[in-house]
Structure 1
Amino acid sequence: MALIAQPFRHPDSGIYYLRRRVPDDLRQIIGKTEIRRSLNTRHYLQAKAAFAHAYAESERLFSDARQGLYVEHREPETIGKPLPTVLLTAPTKSSIRLSEALTRYVQSISMSGRSDYVSRRHTVDYSRAVNRFITDMGDKPIASIQPSDIHAFAANLIQPAEEKVKPLATSSTRLLLARLSSVMAFTVDSGLLETNPVTASRIHKRLGSGKPKRRLDDNRGYTWGELVTLFSHTEFQQLRNAEGRPGNAVYWIPLIAAYTGGRREELAQLYVEDIHQHESGSWFIRIIDDQPDKSVKTDSSRREIPVHPDLIALGLLTLVQDRTPGTRIFPQLVKVSDGFAGIVSKSWRPVTQRCGVYQPGRNPLHAFRHSFKTLAREHGIPKEVSDWITGHASGHIGDSYGVNPLSRMAMEIQKLPSLAKAAGLL
């Protein structure tokens, strides 16, 4: 297996360098067997960021050499640092345009250690933000982008100059600007810019708080009565045998979410082997990113979730029995830009509307996560166990030691009341 290229730290100066072997067919042209470029830092994280675009420049160098466009330049040698360096031909800082900065940022993502799916999703989301700026404001040299440009861009997102362009909500505008800011911050870390124009613009302060203030009567989860209403409704119960896409996923994912507090995407991406039996006899749902098409939100999201006896009684195991390992539980769900569960969310919202429990501002699927936490508090499940089950990080360093006892979780989950019985499903 090939090793991932890493910055080289000079043993004497401590400064990090890019070191690359020159391909055999280019050695006579370049006149070197190896190229080295100073990353101008002794800090590893800064070196790692600079290494990404330096590596990309070396690729362009090799490409130019193959096309007969290579011109060699040498840095003057510095006393005490006799490292011969080939300067890689690159645009000056003032001439680098935003599209080029985005290209370098995307190249750096591939070195972050994220899964392929997360890297692709990250690339799509951040490229969309930058390309929207380019569409509205032009592909400017990054050094020319001013805070005033950021304000003009934000204003055009919320109140587009063209009538045919759909305006964005303030929350969507904030998100898009945050992603643009991340790309600009990368250029600062890489030494291409002195300051981040998005941060300097203080645009987020001008747009106001990202989240509305929480009211005491603001319940983002379902009440017990609403849960009973949902799951006792005829329309919901008929979804159990639904076919096509999303099919029966609209029956099982809300039901599993209500009993586990699991995130919609965690449940939609499950494989057959992710529902398994512990040696104690209890059943668990494994949340883990062990496949190219699976992802988790945070490190604490990787976990085992105990299966409530009601889910077993309702036939959860029929989803995995006699199924081939290595296949997904809901194969009819296709991963698109918003993951596997996007279509489930789109189908679930009208169900809640017809059942009379829909509330504007409440996410119909994510609301089960809030409901689970409320029920856990009401019925005496300790916070630490509730956090283990939902994958919430506690913030205490001591909780990162040891393991979460599965037997304890399996015992505590049984404290939840039987929603299935209350709704007439059992």
Structure 2
Amino acid sequence: MAYLMKDRHGTYYLRLVLTNELRLRLGIADSRQREFRRSLDTKSKREAARRFPDAYVKAVSSFEAAPQEASPSPAARSSQPALSSLLAKHSKHQGLTGILPSTLHGRLHAVGLLMKYIGDKPVNEYEKQDARRFRDKLSETPKKGYPDEKISVSTLNIYISRVQAFFNWLEQEGFVTDNVFKGMKVQVKRLQSSYRSVFTAEDLTMIFSHINTEDVRLDRLFVTYIAFYTACRISEACQLSKEDVYQVDGVWCIHIRENKPYQRLKNAYSERVIPVHSELIKLGLLEHCDTVEDRLLPNAKPAAISQWFGKLLIKLFIGPDKTFHSFRHTGVNILKQHGVDVSLTAALMGHSTGTMAYDRYGKTLKPEALVDIVELIKLKG
């Protein structure tokens, strides 16, 4: 299992826990060596997360390159390598695809849990019963910081999804013929729209009344307004540059894209051009663009704004099932209530419709086709 840790001086490092099975697989003779550490040479958590995958690959590769003592082979040796021996290969391959470091880190952690609970085996020897045992073990895992409570179903499903993604890669690469983790999520019978509560009209009135009357920092003010009037993700709002705000056929637009080193999108469907809502223009968004050199909101950090907003919701007695991401669900709900076609909603949200024809050609939609849709999102009163 690999962890991102911080030492007493505030410097982050990679910590690789060496189980007996992993030690044997990697050819480490010293049974007293319980862990491996490698400094990431940074005190920035974001930079450490970025360096983590490469450091992990180098660490495992260095073990694999070390000479190993010959061991007797069983008569019926597996034709496929052990799970642990493919982690470095997976990390290197995924790094080429542009996967977010945090996503890869989470996936490696989940696979580490699989090896901890089920064991490190040749990848083609994992069976459906192993997947069920893993799910059962996860359900018994204590909640972080609350040893008397178990992790939630949603957290359990996240772990399973991450392991499933790893085995999808194994299947694509020909290491396994079937992904035994497919269909292993715990199914909860509830409406899809109830997964994340939307803000009510009263909630929105309290939120915007507060940020309009209190001394709220400019980055927090703009990110909150942009998130509401575009239904974008918090990370998308925080990473906008002044070049992302421009006119298309006379319509002012916000271009959600990867155009700068600091910009990352969730997936291929996330890039989109959204008309600037009239309320954002009244707020002074266009004038603000003239005051910055590059980043639209240089001080906007997703984690910090999310934390601030969470405290605001507590202060206003809103929640506890609502978060900053509820703005996105609120936007979808508003458009749904107005009967907006799902393809137009998908274009605004940066979602796939599941229809190949639309997903392929939907990006050619002119912004003017979305102007009236965007203007449906408004505060009442």
* Same fold flag (TM > 0.5): yes
| Deviations 1:100-136, CA, capped at 9 Å, x for gaps | 122222233244xx33xx3534421211111222344
Of 249-258 and 291-300, more deviation after overlay is shown by 291-300
| Deviations 1:340-365, CA, capped at 9 Å, x for gaps | 523322221221222233242x3x22
**Which residue of structure 2 lines up, in the alignment, with residue 401 of structure 1?**
361
**Which residue of structure 1 lines up, in the alignment, with residue 350 of structure 2?**
391
Q: In the alignment, is residue 291 of structure 1 matched against residue 267 of structure 2?
A: no
**TM-score w.r.t. length of structure 1:** 0.61
| Deviations 1:72-124, CA, capped at 9 Å, x for gaps | xxxxxxxxxxxxxxxxxxxx74573221122222233244xx33xx3534421
**Which residue of structure 2 lines up, in the alignment, with residue 225 of structure 1?**
202
Seen in structure 2, the aligned counterparts of structure 1 residues 236 and 128 have a Cα distance that, compared at 3 Å, is: farther
Alignment-mate amino acid for residue 125 of structure 1: G
Within 5 Å, give how 1:182-331 maps onto structure 2: 182-199=165-182, 203-204=184-185, 208-209=186-187, 211-214=188-191, 220-233=197-210, 237-240=213-216, 242=217, 248-280=218-250, 282-324=251-293, 327-331=294-298
Separation (CA, whole Å) in 2 of partners of 1:341 and 1:140: 39
Separation (CA, whole Å) in 1 of partners of 2:113 and 2:343: 43
Separation (CA, whole Å) in 1 of partners of 2:256 and 2:83: 38
- Give the secondary-structure state (helix, strand or coil) at the position aligned to 2:290: coil
Quick check: 1:271–1:329 contact (8 Å CA) kept in 2? Answer: yes
Percent identity of equivalent pairs: 21
- Give the secondary-structure state (helix, strand or coil) at the position aligned to 2:255: strand
Alignment gaps of 5+ in structure 2: 1-56, 69-76
- Give the secondary-structure state (helix, strand or coil) at the position aligned to 1:299: coil
Alignment-mate amino acid for residue 329 of structure 1: L
Alignment-mate amino acid for residue 89 of structure 2: R
- Give the secondary-structure state (helix, strand or coil) at the position aligned to 2:260: coil
Quick check: 1:97–1:142 contact (8 Å CA) kept in 2? Answer: yes
Q: Which runs of 4+ in 1 moved over 6 A?
A: 161-165, 215-219
**Which residue of structure 1 lines up, in the alignment, with residue 151 of structure 2?**
168
**Which residue of structure 2 lines up, in the alignment, with residue 107 of structure 1?**
92
Within 5 Å, give how 1:86-165 maps onto structure 2: 93-94=78-79, 96-111=81-96, 114-115=97-98, 118-160=99-141
Q: CA RMSD in A?
A: 3.6
Alignment-mate amino acid for residue 261 of structure 1: A
Seen in structure 2, the aligned counterparts of structure 1 residues 188 and 315 have a Cα distance that, compared at 3 Å, is: closer
Within 5 Å, give how 1:361-372 maps onto structure 2: 362=322, 364-372=323-331
Separation (CA, whole Å) in 2 of partners of 1:106 and 1:274: 32
Seen in structure 2, the aligned counterparts of structure 1 residues 147 and 273 have a Cα distance that, compared at 3 Å, is: same
Tell me which structure has the larger Cα radius of gyration.
1
Of 297-306 and 381-390, more deviation after overlay is shown by 381-390
Separation (CA, whole Å) in 1 of partners of 2:319 and 2:324: 11
Alignment-mate amino acid for residue 197 of structure 2: R
1:410: how far off?
A: 3.0
Quick check: 2:234–2:325 contact (8 Å CA) kept in 1? Answer: yes
**TM-score w.r.t. length of structure 2:** 0.68
- Give the secondary-structure state (helix, strand or coil) at the position aligned to 2:298: coil
Alignment gaps of 5+ in structure 1: 1-55, 70-91, 243-247, 334-339
Separation (CA, whole Å) in 1 of partners of 2:267 and 2:144: 40
Tell me how many residue pairs correspond in the alignment: 308
Seen in structure 2, the aligned counterparts of structure 1 residues 194 and 226 have a Cα distance that, compared at 3 Å, is: closer
Seen in structure 2, the aligned counterparts of structure 1 residues 103 and 272 have a Cα distance that, compared at 3 Å, is: same
Seen in structure 2, the aligned counterparts of structure 1 residues 192 and 418 have a Cα distance that, compared at 3 Å, is: closer
